[in-house]
Amino acid sequence: MDIFKVLSRGIKAQPKKNQPGAPQLLPSAGAKVNPQFFHDNVGGSNSKRSKKRKRKGTQANNATESGDDDSDASDVDYFAPKPTPEELAAKKDAELKADEPKKQKPKLMEEDECRQTLKSHRLKFTVLAGRVQQPEEPTEKPSKKKKQKKDKKEQEEEDKKKKKKDEDKKQIYPQPLNSFGELKYTYGIHPTLADNITRQGFRVPTEVQMGSLPLQLRPEMALEKASGVEDVKVERGIDFLGVAPTGSGKTISFLIPAIDAIIKRRAEDYTPETDEHVLQAIVVAPTRELASQIVNEGRKLAIGTGVRVVLMKRTLRLVAEENKQEETEQDGKEADKDSDHDSEAESEPEEVLASDEEEEEEEDSDAEKNEESKAKGDKKSKKERPITKVDILVTTPKILLNFLCGGEKEKGKPRIVKKTLPTVQSLILDEADVLLDPIFRKQTMGIWRACTHPNLGMTCWSATMASNIEALLTKSIEKRAKRTPEQTPKPLIRLVVGLKDTAVPNITHKLIYCATEPGKLLALRQLLHPVSSADSGPPLRPPFLVFTQTIDRAQALHDELKYDIPLEAGGSARVAVLHSSLSDSVRSKIMARFRSGEVWVLITTDVLARGVDFAGVNGVVNYDVPVSAAAYVHRAGRTGRAGREGGVAVTFYTKDDIPFVKSVANVIAMSEKQAGKDIDEKDTVKAAQGSVQKWLLDALPKVAKEDKRKLKVRGVESRRTGGKATITTKSSWERRRENNRREAIEASKRRKREAQKAEKEGGAAPVEKDEDWTGLD
Ligand SMILES: Nc1ncnc2c1ncn2[C@@H]1O[C@H](COP(=O)(O)OP(=O)(O)OP(=O)(O)O)[C@@H](O)[C@H]1O
């Protein structure tokens, strides 16, 4: 044996990341162990603590966690007397009891420790509303002379400081969730639910789960050691706003408390007479794809708990009450008033999301027809259809509002909310910023008002949250509370993970300039098949998503790209297109093919930009620049899910986009800052990777507010209609030449027709100026 080989086996130098030969980390490898985005070193006490807590866990936990199951082997006594059946039964009882949630008071962290842990994971909590008013202390008013002395700048700075101080004052430090084990032993969730979490392979809570679960499950316990919360009354529960990066696990953050609350309420209220399933929670999501994904997640968590999670359909009948104070569009107008003051709200282009909803209606009507004909076969009319047994309903806004209004909107007539849902105690808005944006606002507000339970809890989630939407939410919660007997709102607590500024920190961003529209198609082809590695960095590994501005452009890009994958590698089946003009069944099939890895390149619109979770997507290409910073965050966030590394977001821009590209460049710069990379002009490596350089960031023009608003609603105007809407590799010169030829042929034909007509009428044929030219015909 070569002894040197043996000795050097363990110390052989491994190729470093990014070096040739080094294994490339990709989201599709799915090898991420820790799904947490941030873990800053804040004094180092946190790491010590987590080790300590692990040792303090239950014995059973310790045995499995440390992997020392064999440690008991030395204690085995082969000659001990066999236990009697009574002893065995007693042992089993003891084991079951050990498995039950502990009755004694769990040990909580002191505030200082909480602060350290929260800071190291960049979790920031603020009480936005619902503090019980304390009588104000009289403050000395500054004299007029003093006021005059201060110049404007000084005053502004002072105001800023005061604002920050107020914010800091409102900041609180509740208990974080250090492990999923605490859910069962400290926060008392049902053991089956706890087992389902483990069964799904979730080992470490993500930041948003760390921060949000204790507060949602046991707010009084989560705030027990916190200071500055004397005026925060949590007996009736809390309302919650969670702002956390894309792919950070927000879905289970709202599903776990919703499922647990239903199990508990059912255990308390259940009698043989009451119905086992009562609609208690509604989750609203902006697109059908996202809604059905939430249903799937919910069903996995609810296995064996008896909780039914259902996707809203037109054919569903829910338990509802007649609305006594019939609300008409007057209330819609109320919301409109708010929308005027929120004219800057972040939104997706109307065409994409709104048309998705319309499409949904059409599809549903097809489904309804089918079901109706089935029902006729069973000799049952629509009215006799049984009430759907549901505990958690997941829906898009319009379809539920249609149910509440008893049909679709007739043109020119105000809509009346005819039904209310008094049993609903929890309303969850996923992608809340878009649901409260003018596109969906009326529908969302309508649903909110229909949930009439006096103790309704509200939780809102998104990766992006404009301040005006936040203000609208706070105002609406306060307004609603005034109608309740208590008159005071529940505390509204906001959790922000990372910095408040929007960012996607764990992926690589590339901003690529293409001089012309056809240049973008060439650049995309180069990403697929680079001529040399220097062209545009490493090739984009499939599977990846390509976003366009409109449905037409998605379709056109698909036509252009579908033969780009060689037949031997799967051919045109590897490239697919998904948008809201396709039927529901086609959409679901494409989603399934993309998830299974059969489709490598999925061309789509903003309909898939929010919430949809494809764990193994390696990259995102913004073929057309997203319409806002928020839209960029959501599109780019389709890769790098649950902290996976190696995701890439490539954005092409042409000179048409220059007025709008600054907001995207800012998000990229912020993401790199959050990831710990500084933007440095001299950093040539980064320049080659396409990250935004400072000179570019400075040079890009600022977008005017009005332009921003227009862009959000309509996108880049030239891409909606006209020549630029078509996607082709032909240069404008080639296209002009083709047009000229086509026009010449048309003109020649026209002349011929005119000559024939003149001959028939017996007159002289019109004299042509260039009679020698015979044209192209
Ligand atoms: N604790 C965890 N450990 C590992 N993976 C997790 C954990 N929690 C959630 N995930 C996984 O992370 C992925 C992203 O989760 P989810 O879709 O809830 O993200 P999100 O925050 O809602 O993203 P988006 O803002 O894009 O909607 C999912 O595949 C989910 O299964």
CA-nearest of 697, 504, 520, 694 to 609 is 504
Q: What are phi and psi of 350, to 5 degrees?
A: -45, -45
Does any ligand 1 atom lie closer than 6 A to the CB of residue 298?
Answer: no
pLDDT tens for 405-425 read 887 666 667 778 888 999 999
Q: Residue 708: pLDDT band by 50, 70, 90 thresholds?
A: confident
* Mutate-to-test residue for ligand 1 from 36, 209, 252, highest number of ligand atoms within 8 A of CB: 252
Does any ligand 1 atom lie closer than 6 A to the CB of residue 640?
Answer: no
Q: Check whether 586 has a pLDDT greater than 90.
A: yes
| Residue ranges matching CATH 3.40.50.300 in the chain | 111-131+167-321+420-497, 508-677+689-719
Does any ligand 1 atom lie closer than 6 A to the CB of residue 690?
Answer: no
Average pLDDT, whole number, for the chain?
Answer: 76
CA-nearest residue for atom 20, ligand 1, is 247
Q: How far is it, in rounded angstroms, from Cα 12 to Cα 6?
A: 11
Contact 609, 285 (CB under 8 A): no
Contact 618, 540 (CB under 8 A): yes
pLDDT of residue 135: 57
- The CATH fold assigned to 508-677+689-719 is Rossmann fold (3.40.50)
Does any ligand 1 atom lie closer than 6 A to the CB of residue 613?
Answer: yes
CA-nearest residue for atom 31, ligand 1, is 249
pLDDT of residue 305: 92
User: Could you tell me the distance, in angstroms and rounded to a whole number, from the CA of residue 432 to the centre of ligand 1?
Assistant: 17
Contact 480, 489 (CB under 8 A): yes
Q: How far is it, in rounded angstroms, from Cα 577 to Cα 30?
A: 25
| DSSP at 131 | B
Ligand 1 atom nearest to 180, measured from its CA: 1
CA dihedral 555, 560, 564, 568 (to 10 degrees): 60
Q: How far is it, in rounded angstroms, from Cα 562 to Cα 550?
A: 18
Q: Check whether 428 has a pLDDT greater than 70.
A: yes
Ligand 1 atom nearest to 463, measured from its CA: 25
Q: Residue 153: pLDDT band by 50, 70, 90 thresholds?
A: confident
Ligand 1 atom nearest to 615, measured from its CA: 29
User: Could you tell me the distance, in angstroms and rounded to a whole number, from the CA of residue 447 to the centre of ligand 1?
Assistant: 26
User: Could you tell me the distance, in angstroms and rounded to a whole number, from the CA of residue 245 to the centre of ligand 1?
Assistant: 10
Q: How far is it, in rounded angstroms, from Cα 287 to Cα 142?
A: 54
Query: What's the distance, Cα to Cα, between the start and end of the chain in Å?
Result: 85
* Mutate-to-test residue for ligand 1 from 346, 608, 613, highest number of ligand atoms within 8 A of CB: 613
How large a percentage of the chain has pLDDT more than 70? 67
Q: Check whether 302 has a pLDDT greater than 90.
A: yes
User: Could you tell me the distance, in angstroms and rounded to a whole number, from the CA of residue 117 to the centre of ligand 1?
Assistant: 21
Contact 578, 599 (CB under 8 A): no
Does any ligand 1 atom lie closer than 6 A to the CB of residue 641?
Answer: yes
Q: Check whether 185 has a pLDDT greater than 50.
A: yes
Q: Residue 694: pLDDT band by 50, 70, 90 thresholds?
A: low
pLDDT tens for 247-299 read 999 999 999 999 999 999 888 876 666 667 889 999 999 999 999 999 999 99
Ligand 1 atom nearest to 244, measured from its CA: 21
User: Could you tell me the distance, in angstroms and rounded to a whole number, from the CA of residue 60 to the centre of ligand 1?
Assistant: 28
CA-nearest of 52, 62, 65 to 107 is 52
User: Could you tell me the distance, in angstroms and rounded to a whole number, from the CA of residue 46 to the centre of ligand 1?
Assistant: 24
Does any ligand 1 atom lie closer than 6 A to the CB of residue 615?
Answer: yes
pLDDT tens for 607-620 read 999 999 998 899 99
Q: How far is CA 7 from CA 4, 12, 13, 340, in A?
A: 5, 10, 13, 74
Ligand 1 atom nearest to 209, measured from its CA: 1
User: Could you tell me the distance, in angstroms and rounded to a whole number, from the CA of residue 85 to the centre of ligand 1?
Assistant: 47
Ligand 1 atom nearest to 252, measured from its CA: 18
Does any ligand 1 atom lie closer than 6 A to the CB of residue 27?
Answer: no
Q: Which CATH architecture has domain 111-131+167-321+420-497?
A: 3-Layer(aba) Sandwich (3.40)
User: Could you tell me the distance, in angstroms and rounded to a whole number, from the CA of residue 202 to the centre of ligand 1?
Assistant: 10
pLDDT tens for 633-690 read 999 999 999 888 889 999 999 888 887 788 888 898 888 887 765 544 444 334 334 4
Does any ligand 1 atom lie closer than 6 A to the CB of residue 35?
Answer: yes
User: Could you tell me the distance, in angstroms and rounded to a whole number, from the CA of residue 614 to the centre of ligand 1?
Assistant: 10
587 residue type, one letter: R
